[in-house]
Amino acid sequence: MTNQGSLRIGCLCLGLCLMFLLLCPVPATGTPDRPTLGPAHRGSGPPTVLPGARDAWWDEPPDLNGLAMTSEIISEFRYESETANDFYSSASVTILEAVWWGEYYSGGEPDVSAFNLRFYDDSDGTPGSLIAEYLESSQVDAIYIGQGIGGPIYEYHAPVSVDIGVGSYWFSVQACDHVFPPQWGRLAAGQVTGYESVSRSRFLGFPDWTASSQVFGEPLDASQRFIVTPPLPGACCFADLHCESLGDAHCRGLGGAWQGPESICDPNPCPSIPMACCFPDGHCEQLLQAACDEAGGSSGIGTSCDPNPCPQPTGACCFDGYCAVETEANCLAAGGVYQIWLTRVSNPDPKAHGLRTAVLLVDADAMQACRTGFSRATAARSVSAKRALAVHTGTDSPSPHGPRPRPPARHAA
């Protein structure tokens, strides 16, 4: 009886333990039971951006404390996501190497051995047509960078050969099918350049390209870098009309005007390049540098008159009771009456105590209308004898018509 009683008590205890385990499961360790977009892969702390590479054609280094944007395939769960980021090319080049950074998260051990690499052209700020694709590329060098908030961070290098011209493009990297956990995502760059990155995932509810600010709650760029064939040099013209043989990007970076690949500096082509010549009245003519100087204009190397880059002259803009300094277009748009060119008004604030030290070439009656509060209609009808006036607050100014009355002080409301 003693043995049977002990056995019954033991079975009862075992049953109670099993019931407790069924009703009160062990708390989760932090690893999700399925792929997720969730916060497990969000970085923290101040940005820690890797330095750029001097030999890179395009360079967006990563923020090691940034966010990892899911871009992977996990066939066990029919999970697929893809993240792409844009870049811009200022010349026709061949991309020879693609570099990107990624981070593991959601637990598990790193196990991605191949990637899908895709290059798209741009379609109104999102990836358009596919122009190059490397599926299940295993020719990827993975370099361990350090431990991120979600897991280990790697830098990846892959050889490619993609011909592109001038324009915007998109690059996506997708980790090929791997076990879960972990998950893998593209590490965010230190800042957004151009368009923010876009992602798509039918599993997560956004099957079309969607901006990162909508997917992850903030605008982000996926980090990436491209190494290209050295661009062909060409003649680069500078403002003093000297010429150097440089690549397109280098020339533009120094403020020069690039004349195209394989153009030469001997003979010097720079003096014969028409450029925008700006005149004091704001109009623009396409002239050679010598002709522009002779005509009294000013020009800039590599500039064009379409659209007109020339600063527009300002003048006296009359409102009811005060005068402001505006261009004619701005004056008319604001409902003012534009008089004529203005050389200088040192205090155009309408709430200031009158006008101070202005040298104007305006109609005397129109200027007086500005200062004494005549209506706009009266001011518009008063353009007649134009002459130079010297207006001095608090003093009488010599005038062909005798002493000018002291203008009333205007006090701020």
User: How does DSSP assign 66-112, residue by residue?
Assistant: SPEEE-BEEGGGTEE-EEEEEEEESS-EEEEEEEEEEEEESSS----
Provide the domain count of the chain. Answer: 4
Q: Percentage of the chain surpassing pLDDT 70?
A: 71
Same domain, 191 and 242: no
In-domain check, residue 12:
no
Q: In degrees rounded to 5, what are phi and psi of residue 21?
A: -70, -35
Structural domain span for residue 288: 274-311
- Asked if the model's pLDDT at residue 315 lies above 60, the reply is yes
Same domain, 301 and 359: no
Same domain, 289 and 367: no
> What is the amino acid identity at position 98?
A
- What are the helix and strand counts (H, E) for the chain? 7, 26
Return d(Cα 196, Cα 162) in angstroms, integer: 23
Same domain, 218 and 236: no
Question: Over the stretch 373-388, which tens digit does the pLDDT of each residue have?
Answer: 444 444 443 333 233 3
Same domain, 213 and 81: yes
Q: Percentage of the chain surpassing pLDDT 90?
A: 40
Return d(Cα 217, Cα 42) in angstroms, integer: 11
Return d(Cα 104, Cα 72) in angstroms, integer: 11
In-domain check, residue 412:
no
Same domain, 127 and 150: yes
Question: Over the stretch 295-308, which tens digit does the pLDDT of each residue have?
Answer: 888 777 777 888 88
CB 90 within 8 A of CB 82: no
In-domain check, residue 397:
no
In-domain check, residue 11:
no
Same domain, 353 and 223: no
Same domain, 169 and 249: no
- Is-above-0.75 flag for pTM? no
Q: What is the largest CA-CA distance in the chain?
A: 137
How much is the pLDDT for 200? 97
Same domain, 53 and 197: yes
Q: Residue 68: beta bridge partners?
A: 187
Question: Over the stretch 97-119, which tens digit does the pLDDT of each residue have?
Answer: 999 999 999 888 999 999 999 99
In-domain check, residue 343:
yes
How much is the pLDDT for 232? 76
- Asked if the model's pLDDT at residue 23 lies above 60, the reply is no
> What is the amino acid identity at position 10?
G
CB 409 within 8 A of CB 354: yes
In-domain check, residue 101:
yes
Return d(Cα 175, Cα 168) in angstroms, integer: 24
The arithmetic mean of pLDDT across residues 393-413, rounded, is 36
Same domain, 68 and 111: yes
In-domain check, residue 258:
yes
Same domain, 131 and 249: no
The arithmetic mean of pLDDT across residues 88-95, rounded, is 87
The token pair at 325 is 């300094």
Same domain, 249 and 370: no
Determine which of 7-11, 90-94, 134-138 has the lowest per-residue pLDDT on average.
7-11
Determine which of 44-53, 86-95, 319-328 has the lowest per-residue pLDDT on average.
44-53
- Asked if the model's pLDDT at residue 163 lies above 60, the reply is yes
CB 330 within 8 A of CB 314: no
